[in-house]
Amino acid sequence: MKSIRSKLVVTLSIAITGLVLSILLATDIAVDSWIDNEFNRGLQSKAGMLMTLVHEDEQGLAFNFSSEFMPEFDGKVEPEYFQIWTEAGVFTRSKSLNLFKVKTLTLQSLDVGESKIIAAKLPDGRDGRIIYTRFFPQAESHVRAGNYESNKSAVQMPLTLAYAASSEEVDFILWLIDIIFVVTTVTVIVFIRLFVRKSVDSSLAPLNQLNKDISLLSIADKSAQIVIKEPVKELQPIVESLNAFIQENRQLYFREKRLTSDIAHELKTPIAELINMAEVAIRFPKEQQLNEDFKPEVLNISQRLKSIVSNLLLLHKYSDQVLPKNEACDLNQVTMRVLENGDTSRLEFELDKTLPAIISNIFALESIITNLVNNAKQYSPEGTYVLIKTKRAGSSIILTVRNTLLTALSKEEMSQLFDPLWQKDTARTSNDNFGLGLSIANALTKAIDAELLVEQSEQTITFSLILK
Protein backbone atom coordinates (compact mmCIF):
# COMPACT_ATOMS: atom_id res chain seq x y z
CA MET A 1 0.00 0.00 0.00
CA LYS A 2 1.34 3.42 -0.97
CA SER A 3 1.88 5.96 1.78
CA ILE A 4 1.63 9.71 1.14
CA ARG A 5 3.71 10.39 4.23
CA SER A 6 6.52 8.02 3.23
CA LYS A 7 6.52 9.29 -0.35
CA LEU A 8 6.67 12.91 0.78
CA VAL A 9 9.44 12.21 3.29
CA VAL A 10 11.53 10.28 0.75
CA THR A 11 10.94 12.73 -2.10
CA LEU A 12 11.63 15.86 -0.07
CA SER A 13 14.63 14.26 1.67
CA ILE A 14 16.20 13.22 -1.63
CA ALA A 15 15.46 16.56 -3.31
CA ILE A 16 16.73 18.77 -0.47
CA THR A 17 19.69 16.49 0.28
CA GLY A 18 20.66 16.44 -3.39
CA LEU A 19 20.51 20.22 -3.57
CA VAL A 20 22.51 20.72 -0.37
CA LEU A 21 25.06 18.07 -1.37
CA SER A 22 25.51 19.73 -4.75
CA ILE A 23 26.17 23.08 -3.07
CA LEU A 24 28.55 21.56 -0.51
CA LEU A 25 30.39 19.53 -3.14
CA ALA A 26 30.76 22.55 -5.42
CA THR A 27 32.00 24.59 -2.45
CA ASP A 28 34.48 21.86 -1.43
CA ILE A 29 35.87 21.57 -4.95
CA ALA A 30 36.12 25.35 -5.30
CA VAL A 31 37.91 25.76 -1.94
CA ASP A 32 40.28 22.85 -2.66
CA SER A 33 41.10 24.26 -6.08
CA TRP A 34 41.62 27.76 -4.67
CA ILE A 35 43.98 26.57 -1.91
CA ASP A 36 45.88 24.34 -4.35
CA ASN A 37 46.21 27.19 -6.87
CA GLU A 38 47.31 29.63 -4.19
CA PHE A 39 50.06 27.22 -3.09
CA ASN A 40 51.24 26.84 -6.70
CA ARG A 41 51.16 30.59 -7.13
CA GLY A 42 53.32 30.89 -4.01
CA LEU A 43 55.82 28.47 -5.57
CA GLN A 44 55.84 30.48 -8.79
CA SER A 45 56.32 33.76 -6.91
CA LYS A 46 59.23 32.36 -4.87
CA ALA A 47 60.83 30.88 -7.96
CA GLY A 48 60.47 34.20 -9.77
CA MET A 49 62.14 35.98 -6.88
CA LEU A 50 65.07 33.52 -6.96
CA MET A 51 65.42 34.04 -10.71
CA THR A 52 65.76 37.80 -10.20
CA LEU A 53 68.77 37.16 -7.90
CA VAL A 54 70.74 35.61 -10.78
CA HIS A 55 72.46 38.05 -13.14
CA GLU A 56 75.35 38.07 -15.54
CA ASP A 57 78.27 40.59 -15.55
CA GLU A 58 81.79 40.81 -17.02
CA GLN A 59 83.07 38.11 -14.64
CA GLY A 60 80.18 35.77 -15.51
CA LEU A 61 77.17 34.55 -13.57
CA ALA A 62 76.48 35.91 -10.10
CA PHE A 63 73.85 34.96 -7.50
CA ASN A 64 73.05 37.74 -5.01
CA PHE A 65 71.48 35.63 -2.29
CA SER A 66 71.56 36.15 1.48
CA SER A 67 70.16 33.53 3.85
CA GLU A 68 69.86 36.24 6.48
CA PHE A 69 66.63 37.41 4.85
CA MET A 70 65.50 33.92 3.83
CA PRO A 71 66.24 31.62 6.76
CA GLU A 72 64.04 28.87 5.30
CA PHE A 73 66.88 28.03 2.88
CA ASP A 74 69.31 27.54 5.80
CA GLY A 75 67.19 24.67 7.07
CA LYS A 76 66.68 26.14 10.52
CA VAL A 77 62.90 26.72 10.25
CA GLU A 78 60.64 24.75 7.89
CA PRO A 79 63.44 24.09 5.37
CA GLU A 80 62.87 24.87 1.73
CA TYR A 81 65.23 24.09 -1.13
CA PHE A 82 66.44 25.49 -4.40
CA GLN A 83 69.04 24.47 -6.94
CA ILE A 84 70.23 26.10 -10.15
CA TRP A 85 71.88 24.29 -13.04
CA THR A 86 73.88 25.63 -15.93
CA GLU A 87 74.74 23.66 -19.04
CA ALA A 88 77.98 22.65 -17.29
CA GLY A 89 76.33 21.38 -14.11
CA VAL A 90 75.18 22.69 -10.73
CA PHE A 91 75.59 26.43 -10.44
CA THR A 92 74.36 26.87 -6.86
CA ARG A 93 71.98 25.34 -4.33
CA SER A 94 70.56 26.13 -0.91
CA LYS A 95 72.41 25.29 2.29
CA SER A 96 69.39 23.31 3.48
CA LEU A 97 70.31 20.55 0.99
CA ASN A 98 73.53 19.91 2.91
CA LEU A 99 71.63 18.85 6.02
CA PHE A 100 70.40 15.58 4.58
CA LYS A 101 71.73 12.52 2.88
CA VAL A 102 70.17 13.50 -0.43
CA LYS A 103 71.97 16.73 -1.27
CA THR A 104 70.58 17.46 -4.68
CA LEU A 105 67.27 17.82 -6.40
CA THR A 106 66.40 15.88 -9.53
CA LEU A 107 67.01 17.78 -12.76
CA GLN A 108 64.14 18.02 -15.25
CA SER A 109 64.57 18.75 -18.95
CA LEU A 110 62.67 21.89 -19.99
CA ASP A 111 62.50 24.36 -22.84
CA VAL A 112 63.42 28.00 -22.24
CA GLY A 113 60.49 29.86 -20.71
CA GLU A 114 58.76 26.62 -19.67
CA SER A 115 57.72 25.89 -16.07
CA LYS A 116 56.52 22.68 -14.47
CA ILE A 117 55.30 21.76 -10.98
CA ILE A 118 55.55 18.16 -9.79
CA ALA A 119 54.83 16.38 -6.50
CA ALA A 120 57.85 14.73 -4.94
CA LYS A 121 59.48 13.58 -1.72
CA LEU A 122 61.74 16.28 -0.25
CA PRO A 123 65.26 15.44 0.99
CA ASP A 124 63.98 15.60 4.58
CA GLY A 125 61.33 12.95 3.80
CA ARG A 126 58.33 15.26 3.78
CA ASP A 127 55.81 15.42 0.92
CA GLY A 128 56.27 18.49 -1.20
CA ARG A 129 56.18 20.06 -4.61
CA ILE A 130 59.00 21.20 -6.87
CA ILE A 131 58.67 23.89 -9.49
CA TYR A 132 61.12 23.74 -12.40
CA THR A 133 61.66 26.65 -14.74
CA ARG A 134 64.25 27.35 -17.48
CA PHE A 135 65.27 30.97 -18.02
CA PHE A 136 67.94 33.36 -19.23
CA PRO A 137 69.74 35.26 -16.43
CA GLN A 138 69.55 39.03 -16.29
CA ALA A 139 72.50 40.86 -17.91
CA GLU A 140 73.54 44.51 -17.80
CA SER A 141 73.03 46.31 -21.12
CA HIS A 142 76.71 47.04 -21.58
CA VAL A 143 77.61 43.44 -20.79
CA ARG A 144 75.02 42.19 -23.30
CA ALA A 145 76.37 44.60 -25.93
CA GLY A 146 79.95 43.60 -25.28
CA ASN A 147 79.48 39.84 -25.07
CA TYR A 148 76.68 39.04 -27.54
CA GLU A 149 75.91 41.92 -29.86
CA SER A 150 79.59 42.42 -30.83
CA ASN A 151 80.23 38.68 -31.04
CA LYS A 152 77.55 37.23 -33.24
CA SER A 153 78.70 33.67 -32.59
CA ALA A 154 78.27 34.01 -28.81
CA VAL A 155 75.02 32.66 -27.39
CA GLN A 156 73.64 33.34 -23.92
CA MET A 157 73.17 30.06 -22.05
CA PRO A 158 69.92 29.43 -20.14
CA LEU A 159 69.71 28.22 -16.56
CA THR A 160 67.36 25.70 -14.88
CA LEU A 161 65.91 26.52 -11.47
CA ALA A 162 64.29 24.05 -9.09
CA TYR A 163 62.51 25.32 -6.02
CA ALA A 164 60.98 22.86 -3.53
CA ALA A 165 58.72 23.40 -0.55
CA SER A 166 56.72 21.17 1.72
CA SER A 167 53.03 20.69 0.83
CA GLU A 168 52.11 18.80 4.01
CA GLU A 169 50.42 21.80 5.61
CA VAL A 170 48.39 22.43 2.47
CA ASP A 171 47.57 18.71 2.18
CA PHE A 172 46.48 18.72 5.82
CA ILE A 173 44.18 21.71 5.21
CA LEU A 174 42.72 20.02 2.13
CA TRP A 175 42.24 16.79 4.05
CA LEU A 176 40.65 18.70 6.94
CA ILE A 177 38.28 20.42 4.53
CA ASP A 178 37.29 17.03 3.07
CA ILE A 179 36.68 15.65 6.59
CA ILE A 180 34.55 18.68 7.41
CA PHE A 181 32.68 18.17 4.13
CA VAL A 182 31.94 14.51 4.95
CA VAL A 183 30.87 15.30 8.53
CA THR A 184 28.74 18.21 7.35
CA THR A 185 27.16 16.04 4.66
CA VAL A 186 26.21 13.31 7.14
CA THR A 187 24.93 15.89 9.64
CA VAL A 188 22.90 17.65 6.94
CA ILE A 189 21.39 14.36 5.73
CA VAL A 190 20.33 13.41 9.26
CA PHE A 191 19.01 16.91 9.97
CA ILE A 192 17.11 17.06 6.68
CA ARG A 193 15.61 13.64 7.33
CA LEU A 194 14.42 14.65 10.80
CA PHE A 195 13.31 18.11 9.63
CA VAL A 196 11.39 16.78 6.63
CA ARG A 197 9.72 14.04 8.68
CA LYS A 198 8.74 16.55 11.35
CA SER A 199 7.45 19.00 8.74
CA VAL A 200 5.48 16.31 6.90
CA ASP A 201 3.97 15.01 10.16
CA SER A 202 3.04 18.55 11.13
CA SER A 203 1.52 19.24 7.71
CA LEU A 204 -0.43 15.96 7.72
CA ALA A 205 -1.76 16.50 11.26
CA PRO A 206 -4.99 18.15 10.02
CA LEU A 207 -5.53 15.21 7.66
CA ASN A 208 -5.03 12.73 10.50
CA GLN A 209 -7.44 14.73 12.66
CA LEU A 210 -9.94 14.73 9.81
CA ASN A 211 -9.66 10.96 9.57
CA LYS A 212 -10.21 10.69 13.33
CA ASP A 213 -13.28 12.94 13.16
CA ILE A 214 -14.74 10.86 10.33
CA SER A 215 -14.21 7.62 12.27
CA LEU A 216 -16.15 9.08 15.24
CA LEU A 217 -18.99 10.39 13.10
CA SER A 218 -22.43 8.75 13.30
CA ILE A 219 -24.80 9.12 10.37
CA ALA A 220 -27.75 8.66 12.74
CA ASP A 221 -26.78 11.86 14.59
CA LYS A 222 -28.79 14.61 12.90
CA SER A 223 -26.46 17.42 14.03
CA ALA A 224 -23.15 15.64 13.46
CA GLN A 225 -20.82 17.18 10.88
CA ILE A 226 -17.11 17.60 10.30
CA VAL A 227 -15.60 20.84 11.57
CA ILE A 228 -11.89 21.70 11.40
CA LYS A 229 -10.88 23.98 14.27
CA GLU A 230 -8.08 25.52 12.24
CA PRO A 231 -9.29 25.50 8.60
CA VAL A 232 -6.76 24.34 6.03
CA LYS A 233 -7.11 25.71 2.52
CA GLU A 234 -6.47 22.35 0.80
CA LEU A 235 -8.78 20.40 3.15
CA GLN A 236 -11.70 22.82 3.23
CA PRO A 237 -13.19 21.66 -0.14
CA ILE A 238 -12.88 18.04 1.03
CA VAL A 239 -14.62 18.86 4.33
CA GLU A 240 -17.44 20.64 2.51
CA SER A 241 -17.86 17.72 0.09
CA LEU A 242 -17.83 15.23 2.96
CA ASN A 243 -20.44 17.21 4.89
CA ALA A 244 -22.64 17.34 1.79
CA PHE A 245 -22.15 13.60 1.29
CA ILE A 246 -22.95 12.92 4.95
CA GLN A 247 -26.06 15.10 4.78
CA GLU A 248 -27.28 13.33 1.65
CA ASN A 249 -26.66 9.88 3.12
CA ARG A 250 -28.27 10.92 6.40
CA GLN A 251 -31.39 11.89 4.46
CA LEU A 252 -31.29 8.54 2.66
CA TYR A 253 -30.83 6.77 6.00
CA PHE A 254 -33.85 8.42 7.58
CA ARG A 255 -35.81 8.00 4.36
CA GLU A 256 -35.08 4.28 4.34
CA LYS A 257 -35.91 4.13 8.02
CA ARG A 258 -39.22 5.83 7.37
CA LEU A 259 -39.83 3.59 4.34
CA THR A 260 -39.29 0.49 6.45
CA SER A 261 -41.75 1.81 9.00
CA ASP A 262 -44.28 2.69 6.28
CA ILE A 263 -43.99 -0.74 4.65
CA ALA A 264 -44.54 -2.40 8.01
CA HIS A 265 -47.55 -0.16 8.61
CA GLU A 266 -49.04 -0.82 5.16
CA LEU A 267 -48.66 -4.57 5.56
CA LYS A 268 -49.73 -4.67 9.18
CA THR A 269 -53.27 -3.39 8.54
CA PRO A 270 -54.38 -6.02 5.96
CA ILE A 271 -52.64 -8.77 7.88
CA ALA A 272 -54.47 -7.73 11.06
CA GLU A 273 -57.75 -7.73 9.12
CA LEU A 274 -57.07 -11.26 7.85
CA ILE A 275 -56.27 -12.46 11.36
CA ASN A 276 -59.42 -10.86 12.81
CA MET A 277 -61.63 -12.32 10.10
CA ALA A 278 -60.09 -15.77 10.55
CA GLU A 279 -60.59 -15.62 14.33
CA VAL A 280 -64.24 -14.55 13.93
CA ALA A 281 -64.89 -17.28 11.36
CA ILE A 282 -63.33 -19.89 13.63
CA ARG A 283 -65.28 -18.66 16.66
CA PHE A 284 -68.62 -18.58 14.88
CA PRO A 285 -68.41 -21.40 12.34
CA LYS A 286 -72.20 -21.71 11.96
CA GLU A 287 -72.84 -18.06 11.10
CA GLN A 288 -73.92 -18.23 7.46
CA GLN A 289 -73.55 -14.50 6.82
CA LEU A 290 -69.97 -14.50 8.11
CA ASN A 291 -69.06 -17.39 5.89
CA GLU A 292 -70.58 -15.66 2.86
CA ASP A 293 -68.62 -12.43 3.47
CA PHE A 294 -65.38 -14.14 4.50
CA LYS A 295 -64.13 -15.33 1.11
CA PRO A 296 -64.67 -12.03 -0.83
CA GLU A 297 -63.07 -10.02 1.97
CA VAL A 298 -60.07 -12.34 2.10
CA LEU A 299 -59.70 -12.03 -1.66
CA ASN A 300 -59.95 -8.25 -1.50
CA ILE A 301 -57.35 -7.95 1.28
CA SER A 302 -55.05 -10.41 -0.49
CA GLN A 303 -55.25 -8.39 -3.71
CA ARG A 304 -54.40 -5.25 -1.75
CA LEU A 305 -51.35 -7.00 -0.28
CA LYS A 306 -50.37 -8.18 -3.74
CA SER A 307 -50.68 -4.64 -5.10
CA ILE A 308 -48.48 -3.23 -2.37
CA VAL A 309 -45.80 -5.90 -2.85
CA SER A 310 -45.95 -5.63 -6.67
CA ASN A 311 -45.51 -1.86 -6.59
CA LEU A 312 -42.63 -2.13 -4.11
CA LEU A 313 -40.94 -4.68 -6.36
CA LEU A 314 -41.54 -2.45 -9.38
CA LEU A 315 -40.03 0.54 -7.58
CA HIS A 316 -37.03 -1.51 -6.46
CA LYS A 317 -36.54 -2.95 -9.96
CA TYR A 318 -36.31 0.38 -11.78
CA SER A 319 -34.55 2.49 -9.13
CA ASP A 320 -31.11 3.56 -10.38
CA GLN A 321 -31.58 1.58 -13.60
CA VAL A 322 -31.28 2.62 -17.24
CA LEU A 323 -33.98 1.45 -19.63
CA PRO A 324 -33.31 1.13 -23.37
CA LYS A 325 -34.82 3.85 -25.55
CA ASN A 326 -35.25 2.18 -28.93
CA GLU A 327 -38.98 2.57 -29.69
CA ALA A 328 -40.38 5.32 -31.89
CA CYS A 329 -43.71 6.67 -30.73
CA ASP A 330 -46.08 9.62 -30.75
CA LEU A 331 -46.51 11.05 -27.25
CA ASN A 332 -50.11 12.12 -27.96
CA GLN A 333 -51.07 8.65 -29.16
CA VAL A 334 -49.41 6.98 -26.16
CA THR A 335 -51.27 9.33 -23.80
CA MET A 336 -54.67 8.73 -25.36
CA ARG A 337 -54.17 4.96 -25.60
CA VAL A 338 -53.28 4.72 -21.91
CA LEU A 339 -56.18 6.88 -20.69
CA GLU A 340 -59.02 5.89 -23.02
CA ASN A 341 -59.59 2.59 -21.17
CA GLY A 342 -60.26 4.38 -17.88
CA ASP A 343 -62.64 7.06 -16.69
CA THR A 344 -62.02 10.15 -18.81
CA SER A 345 -64.98 12.16 -17.57
CA ARG A 346 -62.78 14.40 -15.43
CA LEU A 347 -59.96 14.75 -17.95
CA GLU A 348 -59.28 17.67 -20.25
CA PHE A 349 -56.71 17.57 -23.07
CA GLU A 350 -54.60 20.22 -24.79
CA LEU A 351 -52.45 18.17 -27.11
CA ASP A 352 -50.10 19.76 -29.60
CA LYS A 353 -50.83 18.00 -32.88
CA THR A 354 -47.51 19.11 -34.41
CA LEU A 355 -45.31 17.17 -32.01
CA PRO A 356 -42.64 15.08 -33.76
CA ALA A 357 -42.14 11.40 -33.04
CA ILE A 358 -39.79 10.57 -30.20
CA ILE A 359 -37.48 7.66 -29.45
CA SER A 360 -38.12 6.38 -25.94
CA ASN A 361 -39.38 3.41 -23.92
CA ILE A 362 -43.13 2.93 -24.38
CA PHE A 363 -43.59 0.84 -21.22
CA ALA A 364 -41.97 3.55 -19.10
CA LEU A 365 -44.01 6.33 -20.74
CA GLU A 366 -47.27 4.47 -20.22
CA SER A 367 -46.47 3.77 -16.55
CA ILE A 368 -45.45 7.37 -15.87
CA ILE A 369 -48.57 8.84 -17.51
CA THR A 370 -50.86 6.36 -15.73
CA ASN A 371 -49.39 7.11 -12.29
CA LEU A 372 -49.40 10.89 -12.78
CA VAL A 373 -53.04 10.96 -13.96
CA ASN A 374 -54.25 8.54 -11.26
CA ASN A 375 -52.51 10.64 -8.61
CA ALA A 376 -54.13 13.81 -9.97
CA LYS A 377 -57.61 12.26 -10.03
CA GLN A 378 -57.20 10.81 -6.52
CA TYR A 379 -56.12 14.04 -4.82
CA SER A 380 -58.32 16.56 -6.61
CA PRO A 381 -61.82 17.49 -5.38
CA GLU A 382 -64.89 16.01 -7.05
CA GLY A 383 -66.23 18.23 -9.81
CA THR A 384 -62.78 19.56 -10.80
CA TYR A 385 -60.89 18.59 -13.91
CA VAL A 386 -57.39 17.28 -14.54
CA LEU A 387 -55.68 19.06 -17.43
CA ILE A 388 -53.28 16.99 -19.58
CA LYS A 389 -51.20 19.06 -21.95
CA THR A 390 -48.37 18.40 -24.39
CA LYS A 391 -46.15 21.05 -25.91
CA ARG A 392 -42.81 21.63 -27.49
CA ALA A 393 -40.05 23.66 -25.79
CA GLY A 394 -36.88 23.96 -27.84
CA SER A 395 -35.44 20.50 -28.38
CA SER A 396 -37.61 18.98 -25.63
CA ILE A 397 -41.19 17.74 -25.49
CA ILE A 398 -43.14 18.37 -22.28
CA LEU A 399 -46.15 16.53 -20.90
CA THR A 400 -47.91 18.34 -18.03
CA VAL A 401 -50.58 17.04 -15.67
CA ARG A 402 -52.35 19.76 -13.66
CA ASN A 403 -55.00 19.43 -10.99
CA THR A 404 -56.55 21.31 -8.07
CA LEU A 405 -55.69 20.31 -4.50
CA LEU A 406 -58.07 19.98 -1.58
CA THR A 407 -55.51 21.83 0.55
CA ALA A 408 -52.22 23.39 -0.50
CA LEU A 409 -49.04 21.47 0.30
CA SER A 410 -46.32 22.89 2.54
CA LYS A 411 -42.73 23.21 1.35
CA GLU A 412 -41.74 20.15 3.39
CA GLU A 413 -44.64 18.12 1.93
CA MET A 414 -43.61 19.19 -1.59
CA SER A 415 -40.10 17.84 -0.95
CA GLN A 416 -41.57 14.46 0.08
CA LEU A 417 -43.90 13.94 -2.89
CA PHE A 418 -41.61 11.41 -4.60
CA ASP A 419 -40.69 9.53 -1.42
CA PRO A 420 -41.94 5.92 -1.43
CA LEU A 421 -45.11 5.26 0.65
CA TRP A 422 -45.44 8.92 1.64
CA GLN A 423 -49.04 10.07 1.91
CA LYS A 424 -50.43 13.39 3.02
CA ASP A 425 -53.13 11.42 4.80
CA THR A 426 -51.06 10.17 7.74
CA ALA A 427 -53.94 7.94 8.87
CA ARG A 428 -53.79 6.10 5.51
CA THR A 429 -57.55 5.74 5.29
CA SER A 430 -57.46 4.97 1.56
CA ASN A 431 -57.53 1.32 0.57
CA ASP A 432 -56.55 1.97 -3.05
CA ASN A 433 -53.49 4.24 -2.74
CA PHE A 434 -50.23 3.42 -1.01
CA GLY A 435 -48.01 6.40 -1.85
CA LEU A 436 -46.01 4.53 -4.50
CA GLY A 437 -47.37 5.98 -7.74
CA LEU A 438 -45.24 9.14 -7.84
CA SER A 439 -42.18 7.22 -6.61
CA ILE A 440 -42.54 4.73 -9.47
CA ALA A 441 -43.08 7.55 -11.97
CA ASN A 442 -39.97 9.34 -10.74
CA ALA A 443 -37.85 6.16 -10.89
CA LEU A 444 -39.00 5.39 -14.46
CA THR A 445 -38.36 9.01 -15.48
CA LYS A 446 -34.75 8.74 -14.39
CA ALA A 447 -34.49 5.33 -16.10
CA ILE A 448 -35.25 6.90 -19.51
CA ASP A 449 -33.04 9.96 -18.90
CA ALA A 450 -35.98 12.32 -18.62
CA GLU A 451 -36.91 14.86 -15.94
CA LEU A 452 -39.97 15.06 -13.72
CA LEU A 453 -40.66 18.44 -12.10
CA VAL A 454 -43.41 19.62 -9.78
CA GLU A 455 -44.60 23.12 -8.95
CA GLN A 456 -47.50 24.54 -6.95
CA SER A 457 -49.38 27.79 -7.37
CA GLU A 458 -51.85 28.37 -4.55
CA GLN A 459 -54.05 25.22 -4.70
CA THR A 460 -53.01 24.14 -8.21
CA ILE A 461 -50.22 21.59 -8.63
CA THR A 462 -48.51 20.77 -11.94
CA PHE A 463 -46.30 17.79 -12.79
CA SER A 464 -44.09 18.24 -15.88
CA LEU A 465 -42.45 15.32 -17.68
CA ILE A 466 -39.61 16.71 -19.80
CA LEU A 467 -38.47 14.33 -22.58
CA LYS A 468 -35.11 15.21 -24.14
- Structure confidence at residue 429 (pLDDT): 45
Domain 4-174 part of CATH 3.30.70: no
Q: What is the pLDDT of residue 386?
A: 92
**HEC assignment per residue over the chain:** CCCHHHHHHHHHHHHHHHHHHHHHHHHHHHHHHHHHHHHHHHHHHHHHHHHHCEEEECCEEEECCCCCCCHHHCCCCCCCEEEEECCCCEEEECHHHHHCCCCCCCCCCCCCCCEEEEEEECCCCCEEEEEEEEECCEECHHHHHHHHHCCCCCCCCCEEEEEEEECHHHHHHHHHHHHHHHHHHHHHHHHHHHHHHHHHHHHHHHHHHHHHHHHCCCCCCCCCCCCCCCCCCCCHHHHHHHHHHHHHHHHHHHHHHHHHHHHHHHHHHHHHHHHHHHHHHHHCCCCHHHHHHHHHHHHHHHHHHHHHHHHHHHHHHHCCCCCCCCEEECHHHHHHHHHCCCCCCCEEEECCCCCCCEEECHHHHHHHHHHHHHHHHHCCCCCCCEEEEEEEECCEEEEEEEEECCCCCCHHHHHCCCCCCCCCCCCCCCCCCCCCHHHHHHHHHHHCCCEEEEEEECCEEEEEEEEC
Q: Half-sphere exposure of residue 286, counting CA atoms within 13 Å on the CB side?
A: 0
Pairing relation of β-strands 138-139 and 327-329?
unpaired
Q: Locate the domains of the chain by residue range.
A: 4-174, 236-318, 327-467
pLDDT of residue 217: 78
Q: What's the whole-model pTM score?
A: 0.48
Q: What are the φ and ψ backbone dihedral angles of 304, each rounded to 5 degrees? A: -65, -45
327-467 belongs to CATH 3.90.1300.10: no
Pick the CATH number of 236-318 from 1.10.10, 1.10.287, 3.30.70, 1.10.1130: 1.10.287
Q: Over its length of 468 residues, how does the chain's per-residue pLDDT go in tens digits?
A: 677 778 888 888 888 888 888 888 898 899 989 999 999 999 999 999 999 998 887 777 888 887 777 888 887 778 899 999 998 889 998 888 888 888 889 999 899 889 999 999 998 888 999 999 999 888 766 555 555 555 554 567 889 999 999 998 888 998 998 899 889 888 888 888 888 888 888 887 878 877 887 887 777 777 778 877 777 777 788 888 888 888 888 877 777 776 666 666 667 777 887 788 777 777 777 776 666 667 777 777 777 777 667 666 666 666 767 888 888 899 899 889 888 877 788 899 999 888 998 899 888 888 888 888 988 888 888 889 999 999 998 889 999 999 998 888 888 888 778 776 666 655 444 555 556 778 888 888 888 889 999 999 888 999 999 998
